[in-house]
Chains A and B, each alone.
Chain A
């Protein structure tokens, strides 16, 4: 009886300890484990926040089958860096874009963070951010991709991103006619 009680107590303390733990363990598709602070994860990722709130976080590593280890490493890296950074006034600066919802310009460290990524790693990161519902990271990575497209002709964009042109000549001519605005130059 006493042993049982002791066991129960131990379990209880372990549970309390678990609840107090301020990190969550994430497991990538190839089985690698990453730790990230609970607070940052909940703040940056809507999906992880939901999992933490719903109690579906596994102590031995929450399985994220869709995310490879490299992308997850980047995600965790981003979370850690984000926790250390201080939001600057640049975040609030409005965009000159025509879009109704102004997006925030990435900060210097975020720029550097995505700049060092390779092409494939960047797209892996976009997909991971999309999967985890990390809006800020999605903003930063999409900004990076749009910067890669900025000021390029369609041919150059096709070359950079390996996009295959599946228009026939006539279709291309027609669509260029419709979008004359883009191709007008005086």
Chain B
């Protein structure tokens, strides 16, 4: 089993920290002094440059940092956006949060990019013609666009951003048979497909089925742009305002009203963006804490056998295997080349009941906490542990070569044979032709009952 196959779904969460902020993406935001600014309290001033101020920000909790970009009163037509770059398996432990000011009105392409689906087909035509002609004909070409400028903003019915009017009635595209070929593809192919979609569509795919739940988070980057959710009406208002400056409509347009509408759209979109991103990251944090198993890749996985992993597998990967996947009960590491160093396992929440480590040379596995562990087998692997860390351990199987140092498994009594009240089956095998003989444990070092020393116990092996 190559590790990369599981790796994408084991979902390595990056350490959530701000790696770099690039001032080049836009002017730093400043504190808002407007009396009715909704994001006033949540707003922080971005450091212009300098590593020390950036470092100060990395210490803040993430939500604060997100709110750096909450500012609703960007100059008109300058809506901020930023990109969350997540560390994926390819690009681990590196992500960045970048602020960017995109002027959607000034760039002719950006609205089309941001709204590939949400513009109605008539939108383009409406843009080219002036909404009001000079002679003030009573009926403008686009009734809704004109009306929107004058009436207070209404809340339209909710419809998903990804629902579209694009029809896809090509022949042969429907699945002919009743099997799901798409979900059957491996993760990396699905990610190849997903990275071609825009962020909102990608996030929406997480609701397809449980198979898809963790995929959007495995992508390298997610792009949150306010311009993605600014409604078409907003752009219409922007356009009308620009035209009104040239007196295209004479004095028919109330510029103050238009401006108020534009600001309201921006404010509302900014609020929505803030809360959505906070929701998104909160869920991420929940997952990190292991509260919800819904989005972890292998939430239903109970048995995992890793065999012949190459030396290049980072130790952090092994550690992640223990801490992620809350449901797993059996873990079997077989002939995995640990690279030099210590794999320290501290997983107080793990449910692992059975742990088998065999023939994993060149490294030390340190077990600190595996509270639910019931049986453990160690074959030719250097494992360091304190048995007091495993309160429920009942089966223990230790094999070691005479030449190698005795496993430091003693419970502090100076004898390699462990002492543990709950232990009822113990099997120790020492092989090799060394001179040293292991003295049989004195009866005082063993608990009075339930312990059969040198009892040969086959620990059930997952097939």
Contacts and interface: CB of A to CB of B under 8 A. Distances in A.
Interface of A: 95-101, 103, 115-120, 123, 126-127, 130, 138-139, 142-143, 145-146, 148-154, 156-158, 160-167, 171-172, 174-186
B162 A152 contact: yes
Given A150-B201, A162-B175, A186 B180 contact: no
Nearest to B112: A96
A127 B185 contact: yes
Nearest to A130: B189
Interface of B: 83, 85, 91, 113, 116-117, 155-156, 158-164, 166, 168, 170, 172-183, 185-186, 189, 192-213, 216, 219-224, 229-231, 265, 268-269, 272-273, 275-277, 279-280, 282-283, 294-295
Contacts of B183: 161, 163
B200 A182 contact: yes
Contacts of A116: 172
Nearest to B181: A123
Nearest to A116: B172
Nearest to B84: A98
Nearest to B287: A178
Contact of B196 (A103, A161, A162): A103
A162 B183 CA distance: 9
A4 B222 CA distance: 70
A153 B272 CA distance: 20
A24 to B, nearest CB: 25
B299 to A, nearest CB: 11
A119 B181 contact: yes
Contacts of A143: 196
A102 to B, nearest CB: 10
B164 A152 contact: yes
A76 B219 CA distance: 32
Given A182-B201, A186-B231, A152 B209 contact: no
Of A117, A153, A175, A178, the most chain B CB neighbours within 10 A belong to: A178
B392 to A, nearest CB: 31
Given A96-B113, A153-B162, A161-B180, A186 B229 contact: yes
Given A119-B173, A123-B182, A151-B166, A146 B197 contact: yes
Given A118-B172, A186-B231, A142 B192 contact: yes
Contacts of A101: 220
A178 B161 contact: no
Contacts of B198: 97-98
Contact of B294 (A149, A160, A174): A174
